[in-house]
Structure 1
Amino acid sequence: MATAPAAPAAGTPAREQEVREQVRQTGCQALSGRVGAMPGKGPVMLGSYEAAPGGEPLPPPLQQSAFVYDNALAGIALIACGQPEAARRIADGMVAATTRDRHYHDGRVRNAYRAGPVPEGPVPLPGWWDAPSKRWFEDNYQVGTATGNVAWAALMLLAVYESTRDRRYLDTAATMMGWVDKATYGSESPGAFIGGYFGEEPSPRRQGWKSTEHNVDAYAAFRWLARYSSDPRWRTGADRARRFVEAMWQPGEGRFAIGTRDDGRTLNGAPSALDASLWPLIAIPDAAGGWSRALDWTRARHMVGGGYGFNANPDGVWTEGTGQAALVLRATGREDQTRDLWPLLLSQRAPSGMLYATPERRIRTGLSIGPDSTTEDFYYYHLPHLGATAWAVLAAAGWNPFQPGGATGAAGKRADIAKE
């Protein structure tokens, strides 16, 4: 009688690969299931959060919210899953958002849209009805436009274009980044692309701070567009974003500062954010050398509970950031440091297959949502989260969202670590 093969021993490379593959497969199933649950085959926007099983309902600002960043990640992750048609529905939602805004006609996208199938006409924005005041409310951040979110939307469209060769996606990505180039460049030294615009039309507030993370995103999108067009805007934009990121490198500490303060000039050097420290390593070639020290900084200052937190000296695991770290470690030849991250990621799976944003009730970021905030009110909660699920898939698949074809590293060379 045939006997079943023995399960890989705990802690072995075979067991690590098995758990990593579980992270990939279950994440891909969750993402494709979210798209498939939408009726028809038309454009969609996926809700960013689900209510925790047995917990309280989502707060009103999150009940209908499909954040552009999360949807862009989900679309790229679906490409990594080998499901371009599911990714295409999200991409079609992003094209609709760019071309059918209720007010703007300049190529920007908002930070969030109403979750669900995208109807004809202006693409709906999220909001909620407040019965006591008998008023409809919209969140000022969600209806605004952050530069990094536009760049992520463009990155997703470029990934879908490469998978489908549908020219609409390439053209819409160019329209989006044309808006970034025209509307968000701040020339005051260090020159770079500013945070974006906060609040409702017709006169949203300009946010003059400059973000390392946003400029990494912009660099990647501009460079990708430059592969397909000789338009000098794309190389100029990439050069501007890159110079800013290089200026944010803090050699004494071995990390990147998160950016500047509101004046666009003064270094905001105290906070540390995991994405700002790690994303440059897989998005931008390190001409001067030494950026790999950021891996040691984040390991020393961001690790908590076997995973990674959002900021230095964190108060809990940030699932999304743990996926980011796993991908960057794999791409930079530190596979051995990911061994304990896969079981942690898998343990955050909710009944729906989505991953919780954090295993804690709430974790802080040390950042504020917008200029109206009087405290550092940007938190992550123990809620199933689209963005966390997508980053875990990208990490497990070995897919770099900043590079054509998911190439690992920052130089654009594809090492097919997804099939090792």
Structure 2
Amino acid sequence: MSMRSRHLASICLTLTMFASAHANTVDPLQQQLADNTCATLRSAAAAVPGSGPMLLPSYPTLKQGDDATRALQNVAFVYDNALAGIALTACGDPGQARRIADALLLAAAHDPGFKDGRLRNAYRAGPVDADKVELPGYWQSQGNYWSQDPYQVGTSVGNVAWAALLMLSVYDSSHDHRYLDAAVAQLHWIQAHATGTTPPSGYEGGLFGYDNAQRAQHWKATEHNIDVYAAATWAGRDSGDPALAQQAKLAGSFVSAMWDDAQHRFLVGTLDDGKTLNRDKSGIDAQLWPLLAFNTHPAQWNQVWSWVDTQHRYGDGYGYRRQPDGMWTEGTAQAAAGLQASGKPVPGTVWQLLAAQRSDNGMLYATPQARIGTDFAIGPTSTHADFFYYHLPHLGATAWAALAAKAWNPFTGLPIKRTENMP
């Protein structure tokens, strides 16, 4: 038996033992949430005709919205679809996860404007016909022109890394090297197009804007570097590519540099110049994801829960921004996953709150509030912090809830286990 085969056999044994133990100890509320969200994701995937490549709409019930949401109609964000594919794998349906991965393979190979193998932030949802993955957009009757969103047609580093995590998940279940090669290719794209050497060194935001006027985003995000660290660590282990080990080291060192030992929290990253630390804002994902992505981490990182509870708590759940204006379903599910990774109990009220967000079509609402803010702007052309979440059934929220309820770590492709701490 080869080393790779022994590794896969070990993973299978681990999953079997985990499933047996988990079935006997799981909270009934958690189990019900897992069953419901997995069923919803399976149903959404099965509803896309055929068995070929496809992408799921991020906001499936959004048909006719106002100007604030029109740009979201029939849009499949890569991040949401990567999450959904990983969650489908955790739910025991790797075949549907593979359909999503196949669509992203085609998107990278047949981009309408670039030949460098990049992925966009979003595509049009639905089945893929004739190997062509359409970019999102809509006809603007006032002015008679085709309208596209400059963020959606850009490429953000974090989204690329999440696509790589999906490819790695599908590779683990299929053993098809096309997916491993695709993950490595996306990580190489990040290395070539988003390496920021200005201290603190790390990976920059990516590219924003239309094809004829794309601009580099020089800010560095803790969240994005967590994603790159996890994907490069995983892909490097499976491929043996030494460049990926260096990539993981660079991304990991940036995340470590963002730890504020005085406030026991992670800074969200830098400002647009790529060097000035952003100390004013806080995002709950940047606080929690290191606990999942790093198999070993400094013991003081576990103190982040005091910051999360004082700065991000909203009722029985959690909000996106510091002192939030509402509950963020996705972030509350991330907190449930992070608690499990920290060896902490997940309160039953958290599972109840997540289950209460279920809409008529089964997807969870992004927030129970009409709209919540993030304190961040969508892009450099924004004049204010215009990145919001709305009271809409959301693929990403549903996928994160499924991952948390299944106790599945999307950064490693394995069941969540309590992290080991470095001295």
TM over 0.5: yes
Equivalent residues in 2 for 1:194-343, closer than 5 Å:
194-335=204-345, 337-343=346-352
Output the CA distance in 2 between the equivalents of 1:122 and 1:42: 12
CA drift at 1:285:
4.1
Structure 1 residues 229, 50: closer, same or farther in 2, change over 3 A? closer
Amino acid of the residue matched to residue 139 of structure 1? D
**Partners of 1:191 and 1:244 within 8 A in 2:** yes
Amino acid of the residue matched to residue 319 of structure 1? T
Structure 1 residues 321, 124: closer, same or farther in 2, change over 3 A? same
Equivalent residues in 2 for 1:78-117, closer than 5 Å:
78-117=88-127
Find the residue that maps to 1:394 and give its secondary structure. helix
Tell me the residue number matched to 2:411.
402
**Partners of 2:314 and 2:324 within 8 A in 1:** yes
RMSD across aligned positions (CA) = 2.0
CA drift at 1:407:
4.4
List structure 1 segments (4+ residues) > 4 angstroms apart after TM superposition: 52-58, 409-412
Amino acid of the residue matched to residue 394 of structure 1? L
Match of 1:134 among 144, 147, 154: 144
1:46-77, Cα deviation, whole Å (9 max, x unpaired): 10003379997983201121000000000000
Amino acid of the residue matched to residue 70 of structure 1? D
Find the residue that maps to 2:321 and give its secondary structure. coil
CA drift at 1:404:
3.4
**Partners of 1:283 and 1:409 within 8 A in 2:** no
Structure 1 residues 28, 269: closer, same or farther in 2, change over 3 A? same
Output the CA distance in 2 between the equivalents of 1:97 and 1:236: 27
Match of 1:360 among 360, 365, 369: 369
Structure 1 residues 404, 50: closer, same or farther in 2, change over 3 A? closer
CA drift at 1:411:
5.8
Tell me the residue number matched to 1:344.
353
1:101-154, Cα deviation, whole Å (9 max, x unpaired): 112222220000000001224320000111121111000000000000000000
Tell me the residue number matched to 1:3.
none
Structure 1 residues 409, 283: closer, same or farther in 2, change over 3 A? farther
**Partners of 1:65 and 1:112 within 8 A in 2:** yes
CA drift at 1:242:
0.6
Output the CA distance in 2 between the equivalents of 1:301 and 1:200: 36
Structure 1 residues 407, 15: closer, same or farther in 2, change over 3 A? closer
Gaps of 5+ in 1: 1-13, 413-420
Output the CA distance in 2 between the equivalents of 1:53 and 1:203: 30
Matched, 1:392 2:395: no
Gaps of 5+ in 2: 1-23
Equivalent residues in 2 for 1:371-386, closer than 5 Å:
371-386=380-395
**Partners of 2:297 and 2:419 within 8 A in 1:** no
1:357-387, Cα deviation, whole Å (9 max, x unpaired): 0000000100000000000000000000000
**Partners of 1:51 and 1:57 within 8 A in 2:** no
Tell me the residue number matched to 2:195.
185
Structure 1 residues 152, 406: closer, same or farther in 2, change over 3 A? farther
Structure 1 residues 35, 57: closer, same or farther in 2, change over 3 A? farther
**Partners of 2:60 and 2:74 within 8 A in 1:** no
Identity of aligned residues (%): 48
Tell me the residue number matched to 1:11.
none
Structure 1 residues 19, 31: closer, same or farther in 2, change over 3 A? same
CA drift at 1:203:
4.1
Output the CA distance in 1 between the equivalents of 2:420 and 2:239: 19
Output the CA distance in 2 between the equivalents of 1:64 and 1:52: 7
Amino acid of the residue matched to residue 179 of structure 1? W
Structure 2 length as normaliser, TM-score? 0.91
Matched, 1:369 2:378: yes
Output the CA distance in 2 between the equivalents of 1:58 and 1:379: 10
Matched, 1:26 2:33: no
Output the CA distance in 2 between the equivalents of 1:21 and 1:57: 39
Find the residue that maps to 2:27 and give its secondary structure. helix
**Partners of 2:61 and 2:392 within 8 A in 1:** yes
Amino acid of the residue matched to residue 353 of structure 2? L
Structure 1 length as normaliser, TM-score? 0.91
Output the CA distance in 1 between the equivalents of 2:174 and 2:32: 27
1:256-303, Cα deviation, whole Å (9 max, x unpaired): 000000111000011010000110111124543200111121012111
Find the residue that maps to 2:409 and give its secondary structure. coil
**Partners of 1:60 and 1:127 within 8 A in 2:** no
Amino acid of the residue matched to residue 348 of structure 1? Q
Structure 1 residues 165, 411: closer, same or farther in 2, change over 3 A? farther
CA drift at 1:348:
0.3
